[in-house]
A = this chain, B = another copy of it.
Amino acid sequence: MKLSNRQQEIINLVKEYQPITSEALAEKLGLTRAAIRADLSILTMIDILDARPKVGYIYSGKSSNGFLYDYITEIKAHEIMSKPITVSEETMVYDAIVFLFLNDVGTLFVENDGVLTGAVSRKDFLKIAIGGTDIHKVPIGVIMTRMPNIICGDKNDNAYDLAKKIIEHEIDSIPIVESLEKIGDKEQFKIIGKVSKTNVTKLFVKLGK
């Protein structure tokens, strides 16, 4: 959405003279109030200007992409997540890496009796693979990042918050989980999906379509 020159001019006038009434704006532009009504509606609607009754227009300080925030926070994890690829803790590192390639994913999640217990990324695998350990003899349970040290998400988390978590925690992928009944005081989760940088990039492409 590109703003017209007149809309840009209105924003600049509001920034300079706020609060300013539509009459005053129209006068400064040499136009009638009716002529700028649509522009003012648009600028208010997309949150660039705030209309204060009996006071006038003020600049919201927001950029023209406040509407983008509204848009991308409406998209939920369950709409963009993909199928998680899981292995058991006993899987040997070598076999897990082969499984990673077969499924062409960047992260494997580790399950024990239907409960998410860990995650291993391509980076973790590469580290162990060059470390001189015999990867045929080490089970994945030994090298995985273990719960609760994994950033998880809920199926109703929005795309923006998930992408933010990925960037802030410098991770590739977030498991989307559902809470299971507690065993003692330990909260347990079942993995139902994952949202990765790939899912976010796909969403980005879809948005532009």
The 8 A CB mask of A1-31 against B (1 = contact, 0 = none) is 1100000000000000000000000000000
Bound together, the chains give a CA A209 to CA B198 distance in angstroms of 20
Does A201 make an interface contact (CB < 8 A)? yes
Bound together, the chains give a CA A125 to CA B46 distance in angstroms of 47
Does A146 make an interface contact (CB < 8 A)? no
Q: Which of B2, B72, B170, B198 contacts A208 (CB 8 A)?
A: B72
Question: So how many copies of this chain end up in the complex?
Answer: 2
Stretch from A127-135, A137-145, A186-194 forming part of the interface with B: A127-135
Bound together, the chains give a CA A202 to CA B197 distance in angstroms of 10
Does A167 make an interface contact (CB < 8 A)? yes
The 8 A CB mask of A129-169 against B (1 = contact, 0 = none) is 11000010000000000000000000000011001101100
A-B contact sample (13 more), CB < 8 A, given A65-B207, A159-B204, A164-B208: A37-B38, A38-B38, A42-B42, A65-B71, A67-B67, A68-B208, A101-B123, A126-B129, A129-B130, A163-B201, A163-B204, A197-B197, A197-B201
A residues engaging B (CB < 8 A)?
Answer: 1-2, 34, 37-39, 41-42, 45-46, 65, 67-73, 94, 97-98, 100-101, 104, 122-123, 125-127, 129-130, 135, 159-160, 163-164, 166-167, 170, 197-198, 200-205, 207-209
Can you list 24 A-B contacts with CB-CB less than 8 angstroms, sorted by A residue number? A1-B45, A1-B46, A1-B71, A39-B41, A41-B41, A41-B42, A42-B45, A65-B71, A68-B68, A68-B207, A69-B207, A94-B130, A97-B126, A98-B130, A100-B126, A101-B123, A101-B127, A122-B122, A129-B129, A163-B208, A167-B198, A197-B200, A201-B201, A203-B204
